[in-house]
Structure 1
Amino acid sequence: MHPAPKPVLRPANPRFGSGPCAKRPGWSLHALENAFLGRSHRSAEGRARLDAVIRRSRALLGMPDGWRLGIVPGSDTGAVEMALWSLLGPRPVDVLAFESFTAAWAHDIVAQLALPEARVLAAEYGVLPPLAAVDWSRDVVFAWNGTTSGVCLPGTDAIPAAHAGLAICDATSAAFAMRLPWDRLDVVTWSWQKVLGGEAAHGMLALSPRAVARLEGAPPPRPLPKLFRLTSPGRSASGGRLIEGIFAGDTINTPSMLCTEDALDGLRWADGIGGLEGLIARSAANLAVIAAWVERTDWITFLAAVPATRSSTSICLRIVAPWFAALPAVEQARAARHLSGLVEAEQAGYDIASYRDAPPGLRIWGGATVETADIEALLPWLDWAAAETRLAFAGKTAAG
């Protein structure tokens, strides 16, 4: 075996991590020159800028009238936890756990909220739980796209048009890159640092009229810290009033106005490239390039075996080369890290290792801020690194 020739062309932007994700093409610090700094976020202009993020996000996503959308603390994690702690309890709940974050929501529902009739529908990385087994008369908690598994729901029909429970959807790596069926969802969450390449620490929480009715109809059957409270106390035991200010730029805690300006920059860029359809098309083109490469490459394949469930954002791949399969599990993990480390050392692709809880392999962010040309430039480096890794791990088979 001889060393493989090293590629010449490198991606112009080698940032392929799944969060924080690549900034929009052409981004620079000049985009933040007009940030509302050193002033109160509760001033008229501060509230106006926060509300602009909400209004622009609603419009870009095509969110229906009657939905509330607010900026909340703690990124997508904070938004999901607010929904779980504030809404769950009146009905039994099903939770779909098919990657690390949905497994965390399942743990919190079972161990922390201790809901007695909770069911966890679990699946290994690369596949969805059996959707036919979901009981939609219950509340159902799920991710639209598994950020750490590269598996997404196959489409609108995954959720019945009529369902008695609430459909609570973690959409952090799907929003702005995949079509969300708003008429079939009740709670949707995401964060700024994914498809539009914003900065971290801020989450978005969207509530349907049905979700608002749940909140106002009965108080949560548990104490809530201030950061989770979405209603103010009512005059009776029947619940409370929704804190409408949260959904008009009056945030629960102090937000970063620098991050807010960056979020507005990303939303303006999205509008300029064709809105939601333009964003979806860019992400789909990135997946298509990787799919064509996988088709002609014998050492790697998609972690998601079913094409209809393959993510166009968090594109997860597993190594299937015979030399890799012959390694002990511990050596497979080392070999995968070695491969991604070689690419990073050459400044050809950063943060492409699979998530720490996922099977050893690669994860390439294909969201809308990533240029397809950069993914095309990355792929020869992956082939080169795979050949180099095979040489480095020669002879370390299970039998050896």
Structure 2
Amino acid sequence: MRRLLAACLVSLAPLAAMAQQVTHFTLENGMEVVVIEDRRAPVVTHMVWYRAGSADEEPGVSGVAHFLEHLLFKGTDTLAPGEFSATVARNGGSDNAFTSYDYTAYFQRIAADRLDLVMGMEADRMVNLRLDEADILTERDVIIEERNQRVENSPSALYREQKSALQYLNHRYGVPIIGWRHEMEALGLDDALAYYTRYYAPNNAILVVAGDADPGEVRALAEKHYGVIPANPDLPPRARPQEPPQLAERRMTFRDPRVSQPYVSRSYLAPERDSGAQERAAALTLLAQLLGGGQTAVLTQKLQFESQIAVQVGAWYSGMSLDSTTFDLVVVPAPGVTLAEAEAAMDDVLTGFLETGPDAAHLERIKSQLRAQEIYDRDDASSLARRYGAALTQGLTVADVQAWPDILQAVGAEDIMTAARDVLDRRQSVTGWLMAPEVTQ
């Protein structure tokens, strides 16, 4: 019934016309503000996004963006270490933060009448962070242990890290967000403060408030707390080293005795979503769904159900990226099938798809599913806040976010095939095998 209702709703109007109430303005000091109104519950999500992530780090201090994210929960001129989160919890809310290649974001979800409180604390730590060597030593141990748990203890994570480094020879996307261990171990107070001073400023930040919030009240509070913070006149331009043209296929084999399930994966360099020109990204989004998005996808049908060569397949594309991203495929072979056989079967399916193109009915089903999902996503104000925050830190605009659903619906089969032929080029790919060591007699 829910899906039927969604189908009926989306047939009545373009999704752009159904856009949630969004207000966007900029403070005098350059801080952007987005307010997403959702009055169904007296709750707000308050987020501050910085246009600075791990790809904005200087060479030699990998992991400092994520390190600083941890350090921001230490003390300020007015808050003792740990008091920020304790205050949020005491007022019935929750808070956290996350770091990506292109951004760092901090958020609180709390009762709407506590917005003034959390906004004041977040503005405080934008400029008044206080750190000492003891903070550095303890938190550095924390992030190194986090790397141990998430990367060192996972053959798949180590494999992906090595494969990404092979994909990006010159761009900082080839450096792990958490950092290389040997550089993490050397991170110091000066490294953290240099990154903080350079990037944590209102003219490099986006405030997103979603939920039971009045735009006029949010503007007044934003001017009260953030508007008094001076802009950073020395904010550097966001220029990263770009990838040279990739002229030859790259391959790697990663062996680890802990691997119980081998698999083959391939990533192709692909264009990101660009402001005012999102059509290619939309075509690649649909291509990923056609190839590996669910039980009716081409790779699933051919490799899992028909030939039973694979027990799992996948395809995905993440266009939300400031610079060039990747289009990825993975095939997990069935017992008795070698990685070479699995890769050859994958390539046969791709060759067939490039010759025949998508099934029209399959494409329409995917569009309907994406259209319905867009409606479901409107039920989560926090998810909407993340969508807008991520977009604006990665070069898109509010208008781009609102236009995206209708752009997806306008993509045709020929658009998808043009994108497929352009991106699925082995000369701009990295193919990797994850497997256990060979048994020697």
Higher helix fraction: Structure 1 or Structure 2? Answer: 2
Q: Does TM-score exceed 0.5, indicating one fold?
A: no
- Which is higher, the Rg of structure 1 or of structure 2? 2
When normalised by structure 1's length, the TM-score is 0.28
